[in-house]
Amino acid sequence: MRVKGFGVIGAGSMGNGIAQVSAQAGFPTVLFDIGTAQLDRAKTTIQKSLQKLEEKGKLKETGAAIFGRIAFTTSLTDLKTCDFVVEAASENREVKFKLFAQLDELLAKDAVITTNTSSISITEIAGKTKRADKIAGMHFMNPVPIMTLVEGIRGLATSDATFAHVRAVSEAMGKTFIEAKDAPGFAVNRILMPMINEGFFALNEGLASAKDIDTALKLGCNFPMGPLELADFVGIDVCLSVCEVLHRDLGDPKYRPSPLMRKYVEAGWLGRKSGRGVYVY
Ligand code: CAA
C-alpha cells in the first residue's frame, strides 16, 4: 500500500493532527488552508507535538525529518497530484459540498477523497462529485497524534476497493479502524454527544457542580475527562452542531440539545479555544 501524495484540507486542530500523522507514516503531505495565520499556527502545533514525541522516543526518525515531509499551502491546486485526500474543513455542509465539487474537478480520476466530518452524511457529500465510489468517511479523534481510533464510514456508493484502501491507509498511520454505518453521528458521536448533552442538562438542573459531574465520570467510570471538560476540549459549538444533527436527522426528542449548551454558544463560551466554556482557561 502506497500513498504518493496525501492531501489535507483545513489546518485546524483536526487537519494539522492528520497532516502530522500522515507525515509520520512516511507519506509526502500537503496541508491546505485558506489563511496563512491558520497555517502558521498549524506549523507551531505540529512542531511542538513532534518535539514531545521525539523526546519520549516515540518516533522512528527525527521530528525535523517528519516535519520536512509536510508542504503548507494556501493554493488548492497544490493538491493536484495527491492520490489520497482527507477533508477536515469546518463542519459546515455548504463549505464541504463546495470543496468536494472542486476536488473532484482538480484531482486525478482514481484519487480517493475522504472526509473527517463528525456528522454530515457521506452519501450526500459523495453526491456532489462524479466519483461517489471513491468517497468515504475517515473520522479521526482529537488529539489526532494521540488517539488511536479512525472511524470508517461507507457512503451508499463507496466501493469495496476504496474502503479497503482507506482502512489500509488508516492502519499505516498507526490507527485502529472500525466501520460504522452512514447514520447521524456514526458510532462515536451517536453515543458520546448524548452523554455530553446530558452533562449540560444535569448542570442546568443543579444535579451537581460542573467539577463534581466531571469527577463523577472520571473516577466513577475511569474516563480520562468528564463530559463538561470534554465539551470544552472538543468545542461546545461543535457539540451543539452534532446534537442538532442527531435531533434533526433521527427525529427523536431525546436528542434535543440542552438549552444551557445553546446559551454557552450564544455567549461565545466555546471552550478552551475561546478561553472560556464551562470552565475558564
Ligand atoms: N501531541 C503529542 N503528545 C500529546 C499531545 C499531542 N497533540 N496531546 C497530548 N499529548 C501527550 C502528553 O504530552 C502526555 O504525554 P506523557 O503522558 O508521556 O507525559 C500525554 O499525551 C497525556 O497528556 P497530558 O498529560 O497533557 O494530559 P492528559 O493525561 O489529561 O491527556 C488527553 C490528555 C490525551 C487529551 C486525555 O485527557 C484524553 O484522552 N481525553 C479524552 C479525549 C477524547 O475523548 N477525544 C475524543 C473527542 S471526540 C472527537 O474527537 C470526535 C468528534 O467528532 C467530536
Of 146, 180, 214, the residue that ends a domain is: 180
pLDDT tens-digit series, residues 108-136: 999 999 999 998 999 999 999 999 999 99
Residue 88 shares a structural domain with residue 67: yes
pLDDT, position 268: 98
The answer to whether residue 1 scores a pLDDT higher than 80 is no
pLDDT of res. 45? 98
Q: Which residues contact 21 (CB under 8 A, 6 or more apart)?
A: 140, 144, 145, 173, 174, 175
pLDDT in tens, 194-237: 999 999 999 999 999 999 999 999 999 999 999 999 999 999 99
Which CATH number goes with the domain that contains 225?
1.10.1040.50
Which structural domain range is residue 159 located in? Answer: 6-180
Q: Quick check: is 278 in a domain?
A: no
Whether 50 is in a domain gets the answer yes
**222 and 158 within one domain:** no
Same domain, 213 and 161: no
Same domain, 72 and 136: yes
Q: If you average pLDDT over residues 184-188, what whole number do you get?
A: 96
- List, for residues 15-55, the tens digit of each pLDDT value: 999 999 999 999 999 999 999 999 999 999 999 999 999 99
Instruction: Please identify which residue in the block is written with the cell numbers 465510489.
Output: 133
Segment (H or E) for 29: strand 29-32
**Ligand 1 probe mutation, 45, 47, 52, most atoms within 8 A of CB:** 52
69 pLDDT above the threshold of 80: yes
The DSSP secondary-structure symbol of 146 reads T
3-state helix, strand, coil in the chain (%, to 5): 50, 15, 35
Peptide bond into 143 cis (omega under 30): yes
Can 247 be counted among the known catalytic residues? no
Q: Are residues 24 and 97 in the same domain?
A: yes
Alpha-carbon distance of 201 to 219, in angstroms, equals: 20
Q: What is the mean pLDDT of residues 57-67?
A: 97
CB 67 within 8 A of CB 95: no
Tell me if residue 189 is catalytic: yes
Q: Which of 13, 22, 118, 119 is catalytic?
A: 118
User: Could you tell me the pTM of the whole model?
Assistant: 0.95
Q: Are 23 and 39 a contacting pair, CB within 8 Å?
A: no
According to the model, what pLDDT value does residue 2 have? 86
Query: 118 catalytic, yes or no?
Result: yes
Q: What is the CATH number of the domain that holds 162?
A: 3.40.50.720
Query: Is residue 75 located within the same domain as residue 149?
Result: yes
Q: Are residues 173 and 249 in the same domain?
A: no
146 alpha carbon – ligand 1 mean position (Å): 6
Q: Point out the domain boundary residue: 141, 156, 180.
A: 180
**Nearest CA residue ID for atom 34, ligand 1:** 146
Confidence of residue 88 (pLDDT cuts 50, 70, 90): very high
Q: What pLDDT shows up at residue 225?
A: 98
Q: Which protein residues are within 6 Å of ligand 1, measured from CB?
A: 49, 52-53, 56, 118, 141-143, 145-147, 188-189, 192, 224-225, 230, 234, 238
In a domain, 275, yes or no: no
Strand order in the sheet with 29-32: 70-73, 29-32, 6-9, 84-87, 112-115, 135-140, 149-154, 176-180
| 126 and 244 together in one domain | no
Mean pLDDT across the stretch 151-170?
A: 98
Look at residue 279 and tell me if it is in a domain: no
User: Is 276 part of any domain?
Assistant: no
Give residue 28 CA to ligand 1 midpoint distance, Å: 25
Residue 263: partners with Cβ closer than 8 Å, 6 or more residues away: none
User: Three-state SS for 252?
Assistant: coil
How many distinct structural domains can be found in the chain?
2
